[in-house]
């Protein structure tokens, strides 16, 4: 008896979900097909019923991660607004938190896949780049709405997000061997960026005043 169309869709999703978890934890190159199919609850022989190659699976994983990452970010911003918090500060505090550092399995996909991205095939790289571009646009909009300005907002979004990703990656890199240093990286980076966000509008306002 054959597998129904709906069951095939569910099986494919199970493979993508299992692969994403393993890829996030250990990197794409470190995970073999036998291991990921076992994690999904299937035999290795069934892999090619769903994907032409591992690269095709990686592309599906990245596409899913980018879409869900964007949805999660949008929800984070809405939560901040609904609670009366400053969305920009809220985002920095969440991103550079011990909880997010530990949440490799479901945290920011742009940071977790950044080391693998340059080795992806074209389809996966395109999904990563497109997802990153969309997220930077969202971040730019948050800055514009928060600070009431548009000039320089995109530049600020790129700079802030790049610093956040870098700090998170460094903190994760030493979390197991030097927890104190890992915490210090998070704390210092978070406080620095929050301070920069606090002072930036005043600097821009004074700059505009000088130009008048």
Domain with CATH 1.10.357.10 in the chain: 58-211
Question: Can you give the pLDDT at residue 151?
Answer: 81
Buried b (16+ CB within 10 A) or exposed e, 58-82: bbbbbbbbbeebbeebeebbeebee
| CATH number, domain 1-51, options 3.90.1150.10, 1.10.10.60, 3.20.80.10, 3.30.470.20 | 1.10.10.60
Question: Can you give the pLDDT at residue 4?
Answer: 84
Question: Can you give the pLDDT at residue 146?
Answer: 84
Domain with CATH 1.10.10.60 in the chain: 1-51
152: left (phi over 0), alpha (psi -120 to 50) or beta: left
Concatenate the DSSP letters of all residues of 71-104 into one string. Answer: HHHHHHHHHHHHTT--HHHHHHHHHTSHHHHH-T
pTM: 0.86
Question: Can you give the pLDDT at residue 207?
Answer: 39
Question: Can you give the pLDDT at residue 132?
Answer: 96
Question: Can you give the pLDDT at residue 107?
Answer: 94
Which regions in the chain score pLDDT beneath 50? 201-212
Question: Can you give the pLDDT at residue 202?
Answer: 42
Question: Can you give the pLDDT at residue 204?
Answer: 41
| CATH number, domain 58-211, options 2.60.40.10, 3.30.300.30, 1.10.357.10, 1.10.8.80 | 1.10.357.10
């Amino acid at each position: 008896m054959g597998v129904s169309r709906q069951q095939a869709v569910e099986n494919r999703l199970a493979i993508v979900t299992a692969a994403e978890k393993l890829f996030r934890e250990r990197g794409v190159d470190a995970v073999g097909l036998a291991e990921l199919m076992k994690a999904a609850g299937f035999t290795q022989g069934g892999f090619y019923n769903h994907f032409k190659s591992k690269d095709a699976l990686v592309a599906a994983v990245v596409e899913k991660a980018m879409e869900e990452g964007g949805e999660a970010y949008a929800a984070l911003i809405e939560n901040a607004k609904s609670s009366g918090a400053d969305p920009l500060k809220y985002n920095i505090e969440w991103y550079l938190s011990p909880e997010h550092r530990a949440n490799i399995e479901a945290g920011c996909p742009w940071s977790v896949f950044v080391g693998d991205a340059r080795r992806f095939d074209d389809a996966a790289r395109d999904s990563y780049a497109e997802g990153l571009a969309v997220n930077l646009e969202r971040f730019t909009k948050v800055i514009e709405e928060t600070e009431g300005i548009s000039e320089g907002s995109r530049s600020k979004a790129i700079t802030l997000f790049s610093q956040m990703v870098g700090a998170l990656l460094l903190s994760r890199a030493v979390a197991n061997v030097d927890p104190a240093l890992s915490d210090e990286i998070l704390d210092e980076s978070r406080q620095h960026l929050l301070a920069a966000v606090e002072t930036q509008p005043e600097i821009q306002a004074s700059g505009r005043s000088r130009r008048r």
